[in-house]
Amino acid sequence: MRWVPLALMMLIGAGSLLFDLTLASRLPSDADWAEAAGALRARGQAGDAVQVWPPWAERARLFVDALPLVLEEDLAQADYLGVQRLWILSLPRAPRFAAPDDALRSRGATPAAEAQRFGALSLRAWDLHPAPLAADLTRATEDHEVDYLPRRCLRLAIGSRFAARGAGRTLHLRAGVIGERAYDADRPAVEVQAFADGAPAGVLEIPRTERDGTGWRRLEVALPALPATSAPEAFDSVRDFVFAVSSADASRPFCLAAWTTR
């Protein structure tokens, strides 16, 4: 029995050595990345984006240059604003890899083609079938780090207001504190009040982030139809939106994304 601990240690050591020796064969080479990037250049089109899976494989940024690259962690809930077809560039041989198929199907996505293999990489296109975009209200052009992920959002000062115009049936609101200040202890929540044509439409509260993936808060609001001669015209009417950001602590950097769908 005295040899049992030693035998277990030897077994663990052998397993670790085997893992290290085979790791290179399970991760993509530069040639694999280059071939996958070439396929995206040849087959990509307007309305496409590339999701790397797992999202920690940021080496893709060095090679994928033909399409927007996104690094979402929750594929079932990710917004993918303006994306019609999503290319999943995955590392199926990576340690603890979990296939993204179930998460994508849960949001109504369907495969657009069979997967292609490029060494240790797999590439497959998925049709997302998103609700038609009516208006991108914030029209953000920069990414900001919120809860350790890049988010396309408009930076606003806490205590300010932002106004925009657009049609649509549903208002989608996203917001979060930028960078490490999101984790400051004992900080009060930030509140975003949304108004449509002067009437309150909803309130989004952003509490201190707890490193649980909820730093990017979301709110969906069904907008009431405006008076019109027919229902379609009522929903297509242009509305005036106002977003008011408030908190007892206005020193934190903050950003907001808002859009409507039909």
pLDDT of amino acid 243 = 98
pLDDT of amino acid 21 = 44
pTM given for the model: 0.84
Q: Please state, rounded to an integer, the average pLDDT across all residues of the chain.
A: 90
Give one DSSP letter per residue of 171-218, joined into a string: EEEEEEE-GGGGG-TTPPPEEEEEEETTEEEEEEEE----SSS-SSEE
Q: Which of 63-67, 191-195, 227-231 has the lowest mean pLDDT?
A: 227-231
Q: How far is CA 185 from CA 180, 181, 210, 214, 248, in A?
A: 11, 9, 10, 16, 14
CA angle 165, 171, 168 (to 5 degrees): 60
pLDDT band at 228 (very low <50, low <70, confident <90, very high): low
More confident residue, 109 or 23: 109
Q: Which two tokens stand for residue 5?
A: 């601990």
Q: Which two tokens stand for residue 53?
A: 């899976």
More confident residue, 111 or 58: 111
pLDDT of amino acid 232 = 56
Separation CA 152–CA 63 (nearest Å): 21
Separation CA 196–CA 121 (nearest Å): 46
Q: Which of 51-55, 154-158, 182-186, 242-246 has the lowest mean pLDDT?
A: 182-186
Q: Which percentage of the chain shows pLDDT scores above 90?
A: 79
pLDDT of amino acid 18 = 47
- Among candidate residues 238, 211, 221, 81, the one with its CA nearest the CA of residue 153: 81
pLDDT of amino acid 213 = 65
Question: Residue with structure tokens 């999943």?
Answer: 88
